Structure 1
Amino acid sequence: MVGRKGKKRIGESQGRKRYLYAVLYAIVLGFSVAAGSNIVFGGDVSLSYTENYMKPFGITSLLMFAAVSAASFAGIQVLLRFYGRLRLLFVYPAQGNLQRGISKQEIAQKGSSIRVELQQAVSQPKDGVFGKRRGFLLVLLLLLVSWLPYLLSFAPGSVLDDSLASITPWANGTPLTNHHPVVYSLLVGGFVSLSKILPLSLNAAVLLYSLVQSVCLAGTLAAMFCRLQRAGVRRWVLAAGIGYAMIVPYFPAYAMILWKDPLYSCALLWLSLLLFDAVRKEEVLSDRAWQIKWFLALLGTAFLRNNGAFCLLFMAAALLLSGQRKRFFYTACMTVIVALLFFTVQHTVYPLCHIADTEYTEKIGIPLQQLAATVAYEGKMGEEEREFLLKIMPEQEWKERYAPCLADKIKWTDGANMEYISQNKRSFWKVWGNLLLKNPAIYLRAYGMDTFGFWVPGVQNRYGYVDLYITENNLGLHQTDLIQKLFGSTIRPLLKKRMIWIGSGTLLWMTLGGMLLDILCREGSGSKISGREGSGSKIPGSKISGREGSGSKISGGEGEKGGKGDWIIYLPALGNALTVLLATPVAFSLRYVYVFAIGLPLYVLLPFLREGE
């Protein structure tokens, strides 16, 4: 009797926790939508604060907040109610498990909805297209062929200002800096060197880079789809996921662009895939091959973007604070070691090699935006703070340069004394903190305007989304339409016009929604699936029942939904998003959070996957 009461209290505690998670998600989503509706955006991130601004909150905002929050919470409850059916829709049940949880009497009832469920409960087809290595190669080739029209139309690929900064040290001998990660510049330098060693033009070297990057991106996606297949995802769902990667333009466009972000995002997704393997098979963590892959993915994350090491520290902290800290202790320690290795190289090896560090102002874009907003909106300011700001640039210059959605107009102002900030960092943060206390509303508004593209669902902009051009340069880099040369006609206008908008904020909330559903369905007592027949575990919303009035009772033998901890698979993507929200220089740029785009099938389907392979 006492044991039953204890279990009841635990169940009630878990129920309250799940309820709290759902309420929190709904409230934050409602606030994001309401705040986003108050933002007036003129269509260009470089516009001034008179054209891009946030309106005051009013009754309409409050009503929208309440409506969206209520609708979100209700939607979560509906998903939980019909979770069992949704899972059967997306994932093959493990062979035999469904039948073991249903009594013969129920099956015999005519017209029972159980018959429909049982007809769907067939075993997963053996030796499917993904079941062998040829399946991986098939997906790889499908993606590469579907992306080929972009590469042929815009050969050798897209090269923007950031790309040129990684090329010029090897083409013109300009000094190498860590403004753009040194390791990535070294990688680009290897391809540029080929144009000097072999009888290749610089355009041919860039084309070769585009091909290699395309294979890396397609291979990462193929590895993800193979894992989803082994986790029991139905064929039509896999086909839809592969179609998504073949059709949406930001896949072929990013495959052929000379940016660090696609490869960095692949490294992040590999971290998620390796955590996926570790959660599903406990013995994987001690496997030497898994450890080597994990180490390589950590190196790629840390050294391909300057925020990567901070993302790793976030991941390690989350792993150590999770309920599986003992199991992942070694993994977290390795993650911290790689992050510390990056900081050591950055602050010791690079200076010895005369490689300049990233400019200090590059790291404080959002604080600079908040100071500029305080000047522009004539916030409260003491003489000491005003004197400090005027030493950087005149008051009128602050106002003219302040673009709420783009920090670069402040950071790279000609004639501004940005070196003064680097020489007086402590004074800068003192002034920033003092003005924060005096103008919290202005600071919040400035932060919201500089980041809203990353957290407001449904908004998007061309800036940093899909770019299909080469910046004017003196290196001889130019695009050639190979399709026009081969066939006499061009499809360039069609490809440029073709756009499928999925904004960063939308991808964030879809990922968070997948994580929430995964936590609610896997950790709650009402959704846990037992490994023993007759344990009384339930799946919310299923009509299949071992008892009258209960939820579905499905035996959780090998192949069924597993234990807790799947949420750690989301950590690499969410850690990256957190670092971006702390330091982004612009309100829109899908490339900063591109891992959300390429990992979307995994992050959305994860709540429905079974444990065994």
Structure 2
Amino acid sequence: MVERKDNKRIGESPDRKRYLYAVLYAVVLGFSVAAGSNIVFGDDVSLSYTDNYMKPFGITSLLIFAAVSAAAFAGIQVVLRFYGRLRLLFVYPAQGKLQQGMSKKKTPQSGSPLCVDLQQAVTQPKDGAFGKRRGFLFVLLLLLVSWLPYLLSFAPGSVLDDSLASITPWTNGTPLTNHHPVVYSLLVGGFVYLSKILPISLNAAVFCYAMVQSVCLAGTLAAMFCRLQRAGVKRCVLAAGVAYAMIVPYFPAYAMILWKDPLYSCALLWLSMLLFDAVRKEGGLPDRAWQIKWFLALLGTAFLRNNGAFCLLFMATALLLSGQRKRFFYTACMTVIVALLFFTAQHTVYPLCHIADTEYTEKIGIPLQQLAATVAYEGKMGEEERAFLLKIMPEQEWKERYAPCLADKIKWTDGANMEYISQNKRSFWKVWGSLFFKNPAIYLRAYGMDTFGFWVPGVQNRYGYVDLYITENDLGLHQTDLVQKLFGSTIRPLLKKRMIWIGSGTLLWMTLGGMLLSILCRKSTSRKISGSKIPGSKISGRKISNSKISGGEGEKGGKGDWIIYLPALGNVLTVLIATPVAFSLRYVYVFAIGLPLYVLLPFLREGE
């Protein structure tokens, strides 16, 4: 067995940071589960604070916190201890010249962690089915065919209230606003225009949009699976990933829905994939083709959702603070420039075109929820603060409208003087801050209730998960069951009943777990090789650590791969700051479509 000089087994590390990261993850996960166990939810986000609420923490909560934290920490240590063997469950063992050239006498003992690391340091052949253009097309067509029953059963697709808001400016002449991103509304307008210049109906135009969006989503997923194949992922694992995209309903449902979120999430995932390509490339700066792709993905992220620009600023900051600051300096600068371009358009170009900005109350949903909770739970409040709140709406109205899991009931209250907030922004934040220091517990509970669906694992709700309908409208939009027309029978009831629940909180913690392992396994792998000597050979650990097969500087796949998670993390952070509802998978849909990449990334060590 290979041992370190200090007689510690390979995989053990004196580095406190390694344990600090593991403890931090375990503690926060334990708190999330314990807090979630105290939440009473009536299965409807619009219910009042008497039906949806958070119970006080007690002994049971403490026990749950301790048990989950301990189990999570122990699980992380087990994964690190058997990391080499676990990796072989997901990726192929190497079959390169290095492995073939090492004689049996100079090869580490079978099954040793060092042998596993040396095997994984050799790049796999790239002649797999997924690595070629026909493989990409095969996955693309496979996904489209598997999603086709949904599109045909609910043709022309799903159109909800938000969707209608992007259609009506082109049909009824309603003013264009940035409440729903202008660029997305322009995109929708292009398809609506088809119904005016071609002999097709508005339903047919929406059907065309659904097909184009389906191709975009399927193409993005196919590109991701191709990258995983080139990284050495086993075919059975790739098949499981493709099956995940074929079977789980939120793929076909989001492919055909007229929402901005699927395309926005595709842009985010492309940012992750481009970072994946850059991190795995040996040294140097990304080439021009990469920069062009990065720029296009940045534009999609910034202009398809109003929180996208803030996500880009988070990414740029993280890149500049990372260990690869010099390598990604120009990339970070480009990211900031695109974010500033969006803000310039929002505050300069849009007003010149008479395009109204997003309502101010839309940006302060969580603060409004916290103020409503203070009134509802009769928190501490001065006369000046009470007078300010009563100018917005009467006290009884605050209580009746407060739904802990849905801010829209406060933001869009009929008769409320929300314009008063827009005219007195400084006073609003002064009152909000003053009441925060007087009622911190109420504020924290209100925040938790308005966001818990995004960070508590194992919880889910139908709200904003999978929608298969068209909102009643006067535009003539309606669904037609083409399957029934073609074959004489319908599968609609089966598709509506069929549901596989994977909540936003669960996806978040799976992604964070992948990021944690990417950091810890890289550190562990580096020490295993650099601190060891191959038995029967003259190659020392120091020489190995300086070679291109080491787990440190020479290991292309593992150096700084945590930055691949930045687009998804930046998005969820902006959502947790301003989400109007406790459940809505569409806000963090990038977790769902990027799950295979984010989960498998810790086990991908080879470079391109």
Give TM class, smaller chain: over 0.9
Corresponding position: 1:612 with 2:607: yes
Q: CA deviation at 1:132?
A: 1.3
**TM (normalized to structure 1)?**
0.92
Any conservation in 2 of the 1:14–1:524 contact (CA below 8 Å)? Answer: no
Describe the shift of the 1:604–1:518 C-alpha distance in structure 2 as closer, same or farther (beyond 3 A): same
Shift of 1:386: 0.0
Q: CA deviation at 1:100?
A: 7.4
Q: What is the CA–CA distance in structure 1 between the aligned matches of 2:353 and 2:575, rounded to whole Å?
A: 29
Report the CA distance between 1:15 and its aligned residue.
1.4
Q: CA distance change for structure 1 residues 413 and 541 in 2, over 3 Å: closer, same or farther?
A: farther
User: Displacement, 1:358?
Assistant: 0.2
- Name which of structure 1's ranges 103-112 and 344-353 shifts more when overlaid on structure 2: 103-112
Distance 1:113 1:278, change over 3 A: closer
Give how far 1:611 is off.
Answer: 2.6
Q: Contact 1:542–1:551 at 8 Å: present in 2 too? A: no
Instruction: List alignment gaps of at least 5 residues for structure 1.
Output: 530-534
Quote how far apart the aligned CAs of 1:97 are.
7.2
Report the CA distance shift for 1:425/1:91 in structure 2 as closer, same or farther (over 3 A).
same
How far apart, in 2, do the equivalents of 1:489 and 1:361 lie?
47
CA distance in 1, matches of 2:535, 2:475: 62
Paired residues of 1:450 and 1:587 also in contact (CA < 8 A) = yes
* Alpha-carbon distance change, 76 to 544 in structure 1, aligned in 2, over 3 angstroms: farther
Deviations 1:17-72 (A, max 9, x none): 01100000000000000000000000000000000000000000000000000000
Q: Name the CA shift for 1:417/1:126 in 2 (closer, same or farther; >3 Å).
A: closer
By how many angstroms is 1:448 displaced?
Answer: 0.1
Alpha-carbon distance in 1 for matches of 2:541, 2:518: 24
Structure 2 portions without partners, runs of 5+: none
Change (3 A) 1:15 1:102: farther
Which string of whole-angstrom CA distances, capped at 9 and with x for unpartnered residues, describes residues 359-399 of structure 1? 00000000000000000000000000000000000000000
Counterpart contact for 1:314–1:575, Cα < 8 Å: yes
Aligned in 2, Cα 1:556/1:53: closer, same or farther, shift over 3 Å? closer
Deviation at 1:90, TM superposition (A): 0.6
Alpha-carbon deviations, 1:198-217, whole Å to 9, x = none? 00100000000000000000
> How far is the alpha carbon of 1:110 from its aligned partner?
10
Q: In the superposition, relative to structure 1, how do residues 550 and 601 fare at CA in structure 2: closer, same or farther (>3 Å)?
A: same
Contact preservation (8 Å) 1:114, 1:543: no
CA contact (8 A) 1:559 1:612 kept: no
1:128 Cα offset (Å): 1.5
Contact 1:83 1:542 (C-alpha < 8 Å) held by counterparts? no
Distance apart, 1:5 and its partner CA: 11
Q: 1:4 to 1:48 in 2, by over 3 A?
A: closer
For 2:136, the equivalent position in structure 1 comes to 136
Q: Is the 8 A contact 2:107 2:535 kept in 1?
A: no
Equivalent pair of 2:30/2:68 in contact (CA under 8 Å): yes
Q: 2:539 aligns with which of 517, 537, 544?
A: 544
Contact 1:561 1:610 survives alignment (8 Å): yes
Deviation at 1:104, TM superposition (A): 2.8
**Alpha-carbon deviation of 1:96?**
3.8
Shift of 1:333: 0.3
Q: Distance in 1 between matches of 2:310 and 2:458?
A: 28
Decide whether the 8 Å contact of 1:405 with 1:451 is kept in 2: yes
* Aligned-partner SS, 1:524: helix
Conserved in 2, the CA contact under 8 Å of 1:379 and 1:442? yes
The structure-2 alpha-carbon separation of the partners of 1:178 and 1:370, relative to structure 1 and needing over 3 Å to count, comes to same
**In terms of mean alpha carbon deviation, does 84-93 or 497-506 score higher?**
84-93
- The DSSP-based 3-state class of the residue aligned with 1:56 is coil
Distance change (3 Å), C-alpha of 1:428 and 1:558: closer
Check the 8 A contact 1:316/1:336 in 2, yes or no. yes
Query: Structure 1 residues 9, 89: closer, same or farther in 2, change over 3 A?
Result: closer
Deviation at 1:608, TM superposition (A): 0.5
Using the TM superposition, name which of 361-370 and 115-124 deviates more. Answer: 115-124
Q: Distance in 2 between matches of 1:154 and 1:438?
A: 51
Judge conservation of contact 2:10–2:113 (CA < 8 Å) in 1. no
- Cα deviations by residue, 1:535-590 (Å, 9 ceiling, x for unpaired): 44599999999999999997669996634210000000000000000000000000
- The alpha carbon displacement at 1:598 in A equals 0.2
Q: How far apart, in 2, do the equivalents of 1:425 and 1:452 lie?
A: 27
Checking the alignment, whether the CA contact within 8 Å between 1:153 and 1:492 is kept in structure 2 is yes
Give the TM-score, by structure 2 length: 0.92
Contact 1:539 1:552 (8 Å CA) reproduced: no
Instruction: Report the CA distance shift for 1:541/1:337 in structure 2 as closer, same or farther (over 3 A).
Output: farther
Q: How has the CA–CA distance of structure 1 residues 334 and 112 changed in structure 2, closer, same or farther, with 3 Å as cutoff?
A: closer
1:146–1:4: structure 2 CA closer, same or farther, 3 Å change rule? closer
- Aligned-pair CA distance for 1:438: 0.1
2:508·2:591 contact (CA, 8 Å) conserved in 1?
yes
**Cα displacement (A) at 1:9:** 17
Contact 2:548 2:555 in 1 (8 A): no
Question: In structure 2, the residue corresponding to 1:338 is in which secondary structure?
Answer: helix
Distance 1:92 1:475, change over 3 A: same
> CA 1:109–1:371 in 2, change beyond 3 Å: closer, same or farther?
closer
In structure 2, relative to structure 1, the CA distance for the partners of 1:363 and 1:120 (3 Å cut) is closer
Are the equivalent residues in 2 in contact too, given 1:309–1:339 (CA < 8 A)?
Answer: yes
Superposition deviation, residue 127 in structure 1 = 2.0
- Contact 1:80–1:541 (CA<8 Å) still a contact in 2? no
> CA distance change for structure 1 residues 380 and 544 in 2, over 3 Å: closer, same or farther?
farther
SS of the residue corresponding to residue 7 of structure 2 reads helix
CA distance in structure 2 between the aligned counterparts of 1:7 and 1:325, rounded to whole angstroms: 36
Number of the residue aligned with 2:188: 188
Q: Which moved more, 1:38-47 or 1:539-548?
A: 539-548
Tell me, in whole angstroms, the C-alpha distance in 2 between the residues paired with 1:574 and 1:542.
45
CA 437–122 in structure 1, closer or farther in 2 if over 3 Å, else same: closer
State the percentage of identical aligned residues: 90
From the superposition, tell whether residues 575 and 6 of structure 1 become closer, same or farther in structure 2 (CA, over 3 Å): farther
